[in-house]
Structure formats: C-alpha cells, structure tokens
Amino acid sequence: MQFNGRTVAVFALGGTIATSSDPATGGVVPALSCEELLESVPGLRSLGVALRIHEFRQVPSASLTLDDLNALHSAIKEELDSEAVDGVVVVQGTDTIEETSFHLDLLHRSDAPIVFTGAMRSPTLPGPDGPANLYAAVLAAAGPWLRGAGCVVVLGDEVHPARTVQKSHTVSTAAFSSPGSGPLGLVAEGRVRLNRPLPLRNVLPAGQEMPVVARTARVALHTVTIGDDGTQLDLLEGHYEGLVLAALGGGHVPERLVPRLHRLTEHIPVVLCSRIANGPVLTRTYSYPGSERDLISHGLIPAGDLNPYKARLLLHRLLATGCTERAQIARVFAAFAP
C-alpha cells in the first residue's frame, strides 16, 4: 500500500533500538540518531510517507521521567494541532514502554494515532528486530486503521492498546502481550488487520490533561507478599501523597495490614490493585478481614483491571493536577473499570 501525501512525525527517545557497542565496556549504550535508525529500515522510503524527525531524547527508557513524558505530550500536541501530520511514532526503550504509552494515552485527545515502538535486540546482535518494528510502526501511524485508537504499542508486528499492553519477558522478541484480550491487530501485507473493533478509550477529565508545573506528587507502590508485616506501610505516612497497593489474588491482604491501611486512607488516597498480571481486582466477592470488600469498606479505591504500574500513573496525574478528593479519584478509577 502506498501512503503518498501522508506525513508521520517520529520522536526518538533512545533505547535498545538506538544502541551501539561501547568500546570501553563491551556493553551497548544509546548512540544512534533517529535519522540513522530510519535509514536502516529496508523498504521504508517505498511507502511514500513523509517523515518529520524529532531527536527528542537519547536515554535508556529506565531514565525517562514524568517531566520528559509531559514535554513529549506537549511536543506531539503541537505537531497534531498544526495539522501537518497524520500520525505519530515514538521510538524508545522497551523497559518502560507500557507505562509511557499509557501515560500519553491518558492525555491524548486527537484521533491521530500515537504508535510506540522499540526493539528487544540491539543492532549489534544477529537478527535485530528494530528495523522491522520501525517499518510496522510508521505504516500503522500513516494508515487509516488506528484513527481513534489513541496510543498503541507495535512490536513483533502485533498492535497492542496502551491500556492493556504489558512486557511479559525480559529478552524474547515476543515480549509484549495484552493479558485477557490479546493483541488489537496485526501488521501484515502492508496494512493493519484488526482483530476486533477499536476499544473504547478513557482520557482524563478536561483540565487534567496538562500538568500543573508548581505541584509535585509522590505516589508509592507497595506489593503485598506472604508474611508482610506492614512495616513499609508505616514508613509512608507524611512522605507520600498517594499509595497504590498491589494486593494478593483478587485484592486481598493479611488481616494485620488492615488497620494500617485504614489509617493511611484517612490522610491519602489508597488505590487497590492485584499484583497478578491478568484480571480485575474484585469488589464484592470475599468478605473476610483483609478481603477486597473489607478493604473497600475501609476506604481503599478499586482500580478495575489496571495493573499497579498504570494505576500509579493515573493516580499520580490526578494528584499532580489538583484532584485530591477521594470521591473524585474513585469516580475516575470507576470510569476505567471494565
């Protein structure tokens, strides 16, 4: 398929896809420019897509900050508001791609798709996957198939919504999945083949899509384990503005943690998630001390099927934009529930 007359903005942030060997250490470090990356992609020019290149950052994705992501959102919005581009590709490391794509998906209001991609194998290894992923991402961003889909992740020719995508393997080129739903689509034969209609999207309420620069918010993430004595929870009070609790199973904790959690809810919002990578946190099944019904009755806010990392990003954004009332926060999280 030809895309003559279509324009895609490409924002490069670094990551494995842009690495080369460091002679001093023998390891790989981000080094390649966005233009060098695009030049390495066979057949890309034959698509006929005009590319607007932005050398945005050159860092491992673990070193990206929320300030970086807010700046990226502003830069992408400026491009889309100019109506000079039809879609956007973001190239970055895969370590945090499920979080960065979700963060921008909360803020992105245009119908133009934002396609995140990267690589699991560096260009220094046999069979690097970066060029194929970049080709698929540009094709997906230029075409009509993903308009209205918000932010998606394209790796290994699979298309995953930012809402559901998770990195599920440390080294495999098939590292990304969408537990419970599967990929949204497949890039094949020069097009995106959708497996189902585009999912309904949730974005933040008006007024919370842009950061409040003067306000900071610290949100802790605590994962509950067997034998957890709650000492870490005691250390949070007075130091954090919010907490995401990655609970056992469908949303359960040892009974001895309940008084500590109840005390925390009197001062900060506490969001209840499951530490399991698949399925929603329950709300009305179990009723023993430490169960999800017990915790919700003590003020915890259920996060639906959001995993703890994405729930933390949503809570952070709400707090950073001045949404601090428990009832307000609960309404937003309820909107994200399946």
Q: Would you please indicate which residues are annotated as catalytic (active-site) residues?
A: 16
Which of 205, 209, 299, 322 has the alpha carbon at shortest distance from 245?
299
d(CA 134, CA 274): 33
Residue 296's closest CA among 337, 241, 236, 237?
Answer: 337
Other Cβ atoms less than 10 A from the Cβ of 139: the count is: 25
Structure tokens at 316: 């952070």
CA distances from 143 to 5, 115, 332 (A): 11, 11, 32
CA distance 296 to 318: 20
DSSP 3-state of 56: coil
Q: How far apart are the first and last CA of the chain?
A: 36
Burial class (CB in 10 A: 0-12, 13-18, 19+), 199: middle
What is the crossing angle of helices 97-107 and 66-81, to 10°?
A: 50
Q: Which helix (H) or strand (E) element contains residue 53?
A: strand 50-55
Q: How far apart are CA 183 and CA 283, in angstroms?
A: 27
